[in-house]
């Protein structure tokens, strides 16, 4: 069989469950791929699909860490070309962090008339709050999954999943209904960091997936914005500010970062 590149990469992605290392190993070492899996992949993959050599491959990922080989998506892939504010943080935010995330993102979207979009990981807590505010504004919204494109995780955020699928962008490296694994989330965070213009952290613990997102964002030269939090809680945001992150005390600080001021 003579493979077309899109057929080969789709098949490799499918048989490897989207795992980057396994896919890279097959490609690098030119391992044989049984053509019978192409039919299986075509039968099971329902979403749209773009690969590293596609004309539609997002510009923001062309120079990213561990450049994604294949991406599955629903919605408008062109949203990755618009200025996006990443909002990431604790899955268990304090009442103050919840209140300020909602207030700041609401004012940010209102003042900019939805000129900018929000990108996040659809996790519980900070991610969920920011994305729900974006939905209220009918704003541009991008969700990067740590599970298969057909697998909504966590289930309680089905409403966000459905919104992004129909009115925004839902994106994953993992095909079909692949369940999320612990290593998927920190690896997924590089895609959020690469696609955003700036990253806002309203609250996070010292050891969390948020720190991985920040690492990728800094490596990509993105601005890090942090909300001052209670010093007694030893929150990561205070350490970020101490180390040079931009302080966010109002929505104008978010707007300035997106406008490059």
- The pLDDT tens digits of the residues spanning 133-160 come to 999 999 999 999 999 999 999 999 999 9
Name the band, by pLDDT with cuts 50, 70 and 90, for residue 43.
Answer: very high
Instruction: Please give the pLDDT value at position 232.
Output: 75
Instruction: Please give the pLDDT value at position 208.
Output: 79
The rounded mean pLDDT for the chain is 96
The Cα–Cα gap between 114 and 131 comes to 13
How many CB atoms neighbour CB 261 within 10 A?
8
Q: Is the pLDDT of residue 68 over 80?
A: yes
Q: Is the pLDDT of residue 105 over 80?
A: yes
Any alpha helices (H) in 85-228, and if so which ranges?
Answer: 95-111, 126-136, 158-167, 184-195, 209-219
Name the band, by pLDDT with cuts 50, 70 and 90, for residue 2.
Answer: confident
Residues 6+ apart with CB under 8 A from 75: 164, 165, 166, 167, 168, 169, 170
Q: Are 210 and 204 in contact (CB under 8 A)?
A: yes
The Cα–Cα gap between 169 and 179 comes to 20
- Encode pLDDT of 12-36 as tens digits: 999 999 999 999 999 999 999 999 9
Give the torsion sign (CA, 160, 166, 169, 174): positive
Tokens encoding 46: 């329902």
- Encode pLDDT of 163-221 as tens digits: 999 999 999 999 999 999 999 999 999 999 999 999 999 999 877 789 999 999 999 99
Instruction: Please give the pLDDT value at position 207.
Output: 75
| Coil vs helix vs strand at 72 | strand
Instruction: Please give the pLDDT value at position 48.
Output: 98
Q: Which helix (H) or strand (E) holds 141?
A: strand 141-144
């Amino acid at each position: 069989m003579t493979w077309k590149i899109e057929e080969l990469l789709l098949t490799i992605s499918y048989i490897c469950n989207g795992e980057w290392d396994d896919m890279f190993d097959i490609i690098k070492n030119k391992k044989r791929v049984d053509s019978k899996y192409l039919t299986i992949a075509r039968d099971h993959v329902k979403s749209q699909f773009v690969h590293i050599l596609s004309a539609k491959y997002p510009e923001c990922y062309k120079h990213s860490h561990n450049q994604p080989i294949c991406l599955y998506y629903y919605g408008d892939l062109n949203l990755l070309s618009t200025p996006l504010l990443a909002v990431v943080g604790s899955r268990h935010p304090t009442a103050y962090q919840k209140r300020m995330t909602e207030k700041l993102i609401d004012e940010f979207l209102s003042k900019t008339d939805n000129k900018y979009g929000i990108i996040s990981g659809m996790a519980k807590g900070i991610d969920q709050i920011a994305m729900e505010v974006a939905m209220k504004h009918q704003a541009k919204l991008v969700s990067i999954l740590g599970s298969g494109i057909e697998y909504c995780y966590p289930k309680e955020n089905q409403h966000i999943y459905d919104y992004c699928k129909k009115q925004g962008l839902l994106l994953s490296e993992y095909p079909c209904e692949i369940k999320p694994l612990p290593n998927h989330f920190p690896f997924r965070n590089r895609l959020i960091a690469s696609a955003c213009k700036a990253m806002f952290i309203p609250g996070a613990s010292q050891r969390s997936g948020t720190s991985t997102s920040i690492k990728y964002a800094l490596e990509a030269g993105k601005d890090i914005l942090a909300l001052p939090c209670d010093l007694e809680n030893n929150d990561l945001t205070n350490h970020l500010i101490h180390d040079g992150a931009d302080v966010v005390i109002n929505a104008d600080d978010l707007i300035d970062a997106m406008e490059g001021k």
